Amino acid sequence: MKVKIIGKSQSNLPWEDKPRDILDVVWRSKLNPIVKRDALPTSNSIFNSAVVSFKNHFFGVFRVDDKYRRMRLHKGSSLDGCHWKIDENPISFICEEPELANFVYGYDPRVCWIEDRFYMTWCNWYHGPTIGVAYTYDFEEFFQFENAFLPYNRNGVLFPKKIGGNFAMLSRPSDQGHTRFGDIFYSESPDLIFWGKHRHVMAPTSGWQSTKIGAGPTPIETNIGWLLIYHGVITSCNGFLYSMGAAVLDLEKPWKVKYRTGPYILSPQKIYECVGDVPNVVFPCSTLTDVTTGRIAIYYGGADTTICLAFTYVEELVDFIKMNSI
């Protein structure tokens, strides 16, 4: 393999071989959607969620919109990464700062192992959307601390290791509403509380990624750069349409884009991506990877309603990005 994932072996990650009739670089699971909207008695929809491997099992933080249409975060676990047991109660964060302890809403979580624990980031209300940060050692207790940025911001995605001695995060400054713009920025912090060294990473371009873009899963470290899967939005006469793209960022200076796909790698085409509470959305929030085989399982939300799974190989995806780079 020319392109290698740097990390752990994960031989039990969910996997289906590419069907012979599929020519695309990313292919969908036959089990989709793997988490249905009514997996909990109280859920209106379960989507845009983050899973990780931990202790030979899989754990996750799930976006559950309940039947009041409150946006909540729930933990869950799975033996195989496909069948999930999601906690009926939302996560109750342990938070010493009264100013932050009043949870109003939380959505689109990402989870990332850094050094000795899992960190989660999510879109957190603080006088508008911004980036909430918490950590857990065990998926039992979650400790929330300061929001990373001023409102308004979304799609805060941590890098899985320090860069230049600092924690590093991608984010997407936005507005209070259904933002019609959005570039991906990069920031660093010595302590995950004070953030600076802000750098521009990528702007929207044309076609499927012409309106706005946002980081998706935790970037995947490879020998040639950080593999970043992201979402891109086009405004059609029917509203926003969310597709999936990928880029390779420089390892030491991740704000430098080495390659970036012109064509999307997945767009809403299946019924569960086109029909739901928000039609025409594929929204990636996490991946599981296996160093030995180069397999990548991508978890994404379908139509803001369900959780779906797709697959690719690191080498095939990076070749595709390079060959079709803009």
- Based on the shown chain and the rule CB under 6 A, indicate whether residue 251 belongs to the binding site for ligand BMA: no
- Based on the shown chain and the rule CB under 6 A, indicate whether residue 304 belongs to the binding site for ligand BMA: yes
Contacting range for ligand BMA; rule: CB under 6 A; set: 85-93, 217-225, 261-269, 278-286: 278-286
Name the residue whose CB lies closest to ligand BMA: 278
Among positions 108, 188, 273, 290, the unique one binding ligand BMA when judged by CB under 6 A:
108
In terms of Cβ atoms closer than 10 Å to its own Cβ (0-12, 13-18, 19+), residue 266 is buried
- State the SS3 of 21-43: CCCCCCEECCCCCCECCCCCCCE
- Based on the shown chain and the rule CB under 6 A, indicate whether residue 149 belongs to the binding site for ligand BMA: no
Closer to ligand BMA by Cβ: residue 154 or 295: 154
Show contacts of 145-148: CB within 8 Å, 24+ apart.
145/95, 145/97, 145/100, 145/192, 145/193, 146/97, 146/100, 146/193, 147/100, 148/121, 148/187, 148/189, 148/192, 148/195
Q: How far apart are CA 308 and CA 110, in angstroms?
A: 16
Contacting range for ligand BMA; rule: CB under 6 A; set: 34-42, 87-95, 110-118, 275-283: 275-283
Token pair belonging to 27: 């292919």
In terms of Cβ atoms closer than 10 Å to its own Cβ (0-12, 13-18, 19+), residue 242 is buried
Beta-strand relationship, 143-145 and 129-136: antiparallel
Show the site string, 167-206: x = touches ligand BMA by CB under 6 A, - = not. Answer: -----------x----------------------------
Closest residue by Cα to residue 270 from 280, 257, 259, 256: 280
Q: How far apart are CA 61 and CA 87, in angstroms?
A: 10
Residue pair 107/48 in contact by the 8 Å Cβ criterion: yes
Closer to ligand BMA by Cβ: residue 214 or 225: 214
Closest residue by Cα to residue 163 from 260, 239, 237, 252: 252
Among positions 10, 43, 45, 48, the unique one binding ligand BMA when judged by CB under 6 A:
48
Q: Check residue 109 and give left, alpha or beta (phi > 0: left; psi -120 to 50: alpha).
A: beta
Among positions 301, 306, 307, 317, the unique one binding ligand BMA when judged by CB under 6 A:
301
Q: Is the dihedral of CA 8, 296, 220, 141 positive or negative?
A: negative
Among positions 120, 213, 248, 281, the unique one binding ligand BMA when judged by CB under 6 A:
281
- Based on the shown chain and the rule CB under 6 A, indicate whether residue 242 belongs to the binding site for ligand BMA: yes
Contacting range for ligand BMA; rule: CB under 6 A; set: 34-42, 165-173, 200-208, 276-284: 276-284
Tell me, by CB under 6 A, how many residues bind ligand BMA. 10
- Based on the shown chain and the rule CB under 6 A, indicate whether residue 62 belongs to the binding site for ligand BMA: no
Closer to ligand BMA by Cβ: residue 286 or 289: 286
Closer to ligand BMA by Cβ: residue 186 or 283: 283
- Based on the shown chain and the rule CB under 6 A, indicate whether residue 65 belongs to the binding site for ligand BMA: no
Residue 6 CB, shortest distance to ligand BMA, in Å, is 29
Residues near ligand BMA, by CB under 6 A: 48, 107-108, 178, 242, 278, 281, 283, 301, 304
